[in-house]
Each structure stands twice: as structure tokens, then as C-alpha cells.
């Protein structure tokens, strides 16, 4: 299996170039379903520990349905499958540029939740115009074990998020274990109190915010992903969900920059515009760097071939 690894603001992406499962020619939503139902062992053997950190997001490169698209992609992680992934899309474009398969300029990428317009600005710098994003509910109160009442917003940015404006724990690298613990408890409270996204979708990303002390930075965040790994980047879909919430409360105008810093200090530039249907389309800009071009080996008899733990 031929893979290229990159990181986007510290968050890794493994693009699977060759050796993936045969998923047919349908739309990415259909191929994702086939992947999950028939080939989940491929997910576990390509990214789980000891091969990767638990933060790794896999990106299976697919032939696109439309000849107007540069690529199709299916994202997955240590827990299952992601609908959309902002840092992963930036990593994918930087990987395609590294391989000479994408020139500077615009590229359509097909994901399981629709097409996203991307722009390769330089070899490492990419803008992603995300799927339409929206805030479903503002100011939802939750009773959270040992934290008391926590109020947050429910929003879609390509994944479902519960966004807490005032983080229950100060956001710093040192506090990552305490932030993880608090976010886990919020997630448990959402499940216990049957709080969901649209169509009863599980809210599987928890996002805490606080003001940044850095000048020119609007906010700092901490994002806990479904498999309980935290996002080392400011999270593309999480920044999109944040933008949707800011718009819904009249706090961000189209075209204005929102500089989102993540817990490790890396940044994305967010902004938005309305599409032809009047929907919010966040645009996230960040940088990705390639660090490995590897062939994975699956030796017969390896007891940890499908991951440890």
C-alpha cells in the first residue's frame, strides 16, 4: 500500500494512493458505505497504532465521478469514517501538488457529503470552500458530570459539533488531558440527554473556545474528535461550524477574516460567503507539509496488523 503522509497545522493526514479496496464507480457517499461495510479491516490496518498516532486521518484517494473534478476522497480515522475533513483536504491538495498531480489554481474534490471547491495557492498553502454549514441550535444547556451546566451551540460544518464558547478548562497544551476529559464528559452528556444534530445524527465532535492572547487572532480552540484524539490543528470543519454560529448571531460579515488558533498554536484563516442557494459556505485556508512517502508492509503473522488496543 503506497501512502503519503503530511500534516496540516500539526494534524496528520495519510493519503492512500495505491493498494486500496475496490469500491466501484458510484458517488463518494456510496463508496464510503461499501468501505465501511465490507473493508473496515483496510481502515484498521492502514492507520491504527502502532503504525500511526491516534490522531491520524486516512484519506483514500478515489477516481472522481465527474471529469471536472481533480479527485474523490473518503476520510477515516481511528474510530470510523468522517464526512468531511478540512485539514485532510488541505493535506490531500498538498500531496497532489507534491506528486505533480495538481497545479496552482482551483480544484474540485468529491467527498461523501458533496463537492468542495479548493484552491492550491502555493505548494503548501490551500483554501477549501467547505460544504454549506449551519447552526442548528444556539445556547443549548447540558448537565455535565462534575462540570455542572454547560451551554453550547449545535452546528454542522461537514461534521456535527457541540461548540462551547467558554471552555471549562483553560486551553493550553499543558491542559490537553483535562480538556480531553471535560470534552469526553460533554459528549457523554449529549448522549445521555439525547441531544443530536439534524435527523438524530450523533454529535461526535466537541469544541471548546476561549479568547486568544495573540494579537490578530480571534479565538483559540480545542477539538475532541470521535475516537477521542484531539485535533492538533484548529480543525477545518470545526472552524466552519464556528463561522456558522457567528453568522447566526450576527457577529461575522461575509468576506471578513476569522483567525482561528488551535490548541497547539497553529492557525487557519476562516471566512465565508453565501452560495447561490443563500447557504453559508465557509472558506478555510491553511498549510500542509509532506513528511513521508511510504509503502506499508503487512507481514503474515503480525498479531497487531489491525492495531493495538
Residues tagged active-site: 85, 235
Among 4, 225, 243, 263, binds ligand PYC (CB under 6 A): 225
> By CB under 6 A, which span of 62-70, 85-93, 139-147, 254-262 interacts with ligand PYC?
85-93
CB of 147 or CB of 289, closer to ligand PYC: 289
Least distance from ligand PYC to the Cβ atom of residue 239, Å? 8
> What letters, b where the CB count within 10 A reaches 16 and e where it falls short, cover 217-256?
bbbbbbbbbbeebbbbbbbbbbbbbbbbbbbbeeebeeee
5 is an interface residue for ligand PYC by CB under 6 A = no
Q: Cell digits for 250?
A: 450576527
CB of 29 or CB of 305, closer to ligand PYC: 29
CA distance 187 to 181: 10
Query: Restricting to residues 11-70, which ones interact with ligand PYC according to CB under 6 A?
Result: 11, 57
235 is an interface residue for ligand PYC by CB under 6 A = yes
> By CB under 6 A, which span of 35-43, 177-185, 229-237, 247-255 interacts with ligand PYC?
229-237
The closest alpha carbon to 241, from 228, 256, 260, belongs to: 260
Sign of CA dihedral 107, 40, 10, 83: positive
Least distance from ligand PYC to the Cβ atom of residue 309, Å? 20
Instruction: State how beta strands 219-224 and 258-261 pair.
Output: parallel
Query: Restricting to residues 264-283, which ones interact with ligand PYC according to CB under 6 A?
Result: none
CA distance 46 to 58: 8
* 244 conformational bin, left if phi > 0, alpha if psi -120 to 50, beta if neither: alpha
231 is an interface residue for ligand PYC by CB under 6 A = yes
> By CB under 6 A, which span of 66-74, 191-199, 227-235, 299-307 interacts with ligand PYC?
227-235
CB of 71 or CB of 85, closer to ligand PYC: 85
Among 28, 59, 73, 85, binds ligand PYC (CB under 6 A): 85
Least distance from ligand PYC to the Cβ atom of residue 67, Å? 27
169: Cβ–Cβ under 8 A, 6 or more apart, which residues? 175, 178, 179, 182, 208
CA distance 233 to 32: 24
Least distance from ligand PYC to the Cβ atom of residue 138, Å? 22
Query: Restricting to residues 86-115, which ones interact with ligand PYC according to CB under 6 A?
Result: 86-87
Q: Cell digits for 93?
A: 491538495
The DSSP result for 135-161, as a single string, is EEEEEEEEEETTTEEEEEEEEESSSEE
CA distance 223 to 187: 12
Number of residues that bind ligand PYC (CB under 6 A): 13
Residue bearing cell 484517494: 61
128 is an interface residue for ligand PYC by CB under 6 A = no
Binding mask 156-175 for ligand PYC (x = CB under 6 A): ---x----------------
Residue 49: phi, psi to the nearest 5? -60, 145
> By CB under 6 A, which span of 26-34, 83-91, 174-182, 293-301 interacts with ligand PYC?
83-91
Q: Can you give the binding site for ligand PYC, defined by CB under 6 A?
A: 11, 57, 82, 85-87, 159, 225, 231, 233, 235-237
Amino acid at each position: 500500500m503506497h501512502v503519503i503522509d503530511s500534516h496540516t497545522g500539526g494534524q496528520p493526514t495519510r493519503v492512500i494512493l495505491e493498494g486500496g479496496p475496490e469500491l466501484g464507480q458510484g458517488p463518494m457517499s456510496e463508496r464510503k458505505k461499501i468501505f465501511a461495510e465490507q473493508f473496515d479491516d483496510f481502515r484498521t490496518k492502514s492507520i491504527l497504532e502502532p503504525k500511526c498516532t491516534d490522531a491520524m486521518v486516512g484519506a483514500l484517494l478515489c477516481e472522481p465521478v465527474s471529469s471536472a473534478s481533480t479527485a474523490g476522497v473518503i476520510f477515516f480515522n481511528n474510530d470510523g469514517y468522517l464526512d468531511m475533513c478540512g485539514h485532510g483536504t488541505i493535506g490531500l491538495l498538498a500531496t497532489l501538488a507534491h506528486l505533480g498531480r495538481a497545479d496552482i489554481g482551483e480544484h474540485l474534490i468529491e467527498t461523501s457529503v458533496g463537492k468542495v471547491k479548493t484552491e492550491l495557492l502555493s505548494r503548501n498553502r490551500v483554501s477549501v470552500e467547505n460544504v454549506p454549514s449551519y447552526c442548528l441550535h444556539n445556547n443549548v444547556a447540558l448537565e455535565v458530570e462534575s462540570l455542572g451546566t454547560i451551554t453550547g451551540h449545535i452546528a454542522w460544518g461537514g461534521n456535527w459539533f457541540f461548540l462551547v464558547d467558554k471552555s471549562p478548562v483553560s486551553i493550553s497544551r499543558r491542559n490537553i488531558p483535562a480538556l480531553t476529559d471535560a470534552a469526553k464528559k460533554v459528549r457523554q452528556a449529549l448522549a445521555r440527554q439525547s441531544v443530536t444534530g439534524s435527523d438524530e445524527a450523533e454529535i461526535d465532535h466537541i469544541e471548546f473556545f476561549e479568547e486568544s492572547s495573540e494579537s490578530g487572532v480571534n479565538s483559540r480552540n480545542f477539538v475532541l474528535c470521535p475516537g477521542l484524539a484531539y485535533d492538533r490543528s484548529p480543525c477545518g470543519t470545526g472552524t466552519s461550524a464556528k463561522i456558522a454560529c457567528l453568522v447566526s448571531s450576527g457577529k461575522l460579515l461575509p468576506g471578513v477574516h476569522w483567525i482561528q488558533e488551535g490548541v497547539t498554536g497553529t492557525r487557519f484563516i476562516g471566512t465565508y460567503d453565501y452560495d447561490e442557494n443563500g447557504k453559508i459556505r465557509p472558506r478555510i485556508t491553511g498549510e500542509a507539509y509532506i513528511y513521508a512517502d511510504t509503502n506499508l508492509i503487512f507481514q503474515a503473522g503480525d498479531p497487531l496488523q489491525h492495531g493495538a488496543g
